[in-house]
Amino acid sequence: MSDGSLSQDEIDALLRGTEELMGGGGGQATAAATGFTAPTASGESLSDVEKNSVLDVLRAATESAASSMGALLSAKVSVGMMGVEVMRPEEIRSELGGGLVQVTMNYADGLSGENVFVIPDSAALMVANIAMGQNSQELTPMVLSTLSQTMTQAWGAAASNMSARLGRAVRFNEARAESAHGNTALTLPGGGSMLRLAYQLRIEGQSPVQVSQIMSMKGAREIINAAMGIGSDMSFSGMGGAQPMGGGFAGGMSLPGVPQQAASQAVGISSVQYPQLQQNAGSAQMPHNISVLMDVQMQLSVELGRTRKKISEILSFGEGSIIELDKLAGEPVDVLVNGKLIAKGEVVVIDENFGVRVTEIVSPNSRLEYTT
């Protein structure tokens, strides 16, 4: 190939390589060359891409649940390393052993399929005792009920996190905790293989709790499809053009490496333009006097003084009781209009009635200091 051209043998070799890539062995050849395994169509297994997708969603949801559980238990709760695998029921049972508590919490909205949490009975006792402030040694109905309530509230926060990530409203049914004396007593999701998420739940001051979250492949597939945007409606009608759902710009996120301004221009986002305010024509014609209010009646009262008493003192009042006020003898009384101080004066007697001679008009600052 010294003259820059290919020989016939080299051309034949290239053609054979192309046929291998396009033929029955093409998928394996491409995977080996790129390191990417295409999502499999089989419902009994998941590709690495699909596992990572569901793991990202469930990790964020579990961390939200741990934070909520920490608030319920008044202790710091964190999540350790996670792993996700597709397993057969007999494989899960052989790994979990005995002495377990099963917490069933299926989806109410947004997703379908069965969802089960499995923890050792000692861990269930520990969580319930912290929540109750007790030291029970047995899995009593009260312990299981407390665990159910704790899981329900904790995974309520997880549902909100999943809703934001998947672009759909996700809600769980109330949790139902049951004692499983042996691994054969576990009620696992049906349908053959299932997804198992294994992790440690670390509660401050306690030994780590081994948790297995087991879900049907149907539920796992729905999470993967929603997270990867497969088979979902990607636009809203009647909103002036298509807008991305879930984690797109409409969700307040930006593309990596893309400035926010450029991202906004990409979807046609612009600043709100407010109209310039103009003076109301009616307000300019408001009269400069208050003659139209001259006939309005107002409540005028004169206050001799005030004091504060305890309830016991008030209840002891009777005929002849003397109540001492906060004003000195001869001190001006307060003249109030609708409860607002406007003047001070002195008490006079007009014929047989009391009256007030105004001695001072109170300044606006003094009116603000006065409290009714």
CATH number at residue 343: 2.30.330.10
Please state the domain count of the chain: 2
List, for residues 126-174, the tens digit of each pLDDT value. Answer: 999 999 888 888 889 999 999 999 999 999 889 998 998 898 899 999 9
Q: What range defines the domain where residue 157 resides?
A: 48-228
The pLDDT tens digits of the residues spanning 180-198 come to 876 667 888 876 888 999 9
Indicate whether 301 pLDDT > 70: yes
Please, which pLDDT band fits residue 203 given cuts at 50, 70 and 90? very high
3-state secondary structure 81-132: EEEEEEECHHHHHHHHCCCEEEEECCEEECCCCCEEEEEEHHHHHHHHHHHH
Q: Where residue 23 falls among pLDDT bands split at 50, 70, 90?
A: very low
31: left (phi over 0), alpha (psi -120 to 50) or beta: alpha
Other CB atoms within a 10 A radius of the CB of residue 162 amount to 26
Q: Find all residues with CB under 8 Å of 287, minimum gap 6, and list them.
A: none
Last residue of a domain, one of 228, 243, 265: 228
Q: Is residue 269 part of a domain?
A: no
199 with 339, same domain: the answer is no
DSSP structure class, residue 41: S
Domain closes at, from 195, 228, 261 = 228
pLDDT (0 to 100) of residue 351: 83
pLDDT tens column, 66-86: 999 988 888 999 988 888 999
**Is residue 342, in this structure, part of any structural domain at all?**
yes
- Is the domain of 304 the same as that of 208? no
> Average pLDDT of the chain?
76
Residue 143 lies in a domain: yes
- CA distance between the termini of the chain: 105
Task: Among 177, 210, 228, give the residue marking a domain's end.
Answer: 228
pTM above 0.85, yes or no: no
- Residue 152: give its domain's CATH number: 3.40.1550.10
What per-residue confidence (pLDDT) applies to 117? 93
The residue ranking higher by pLDDT, 176 or 243, is 176
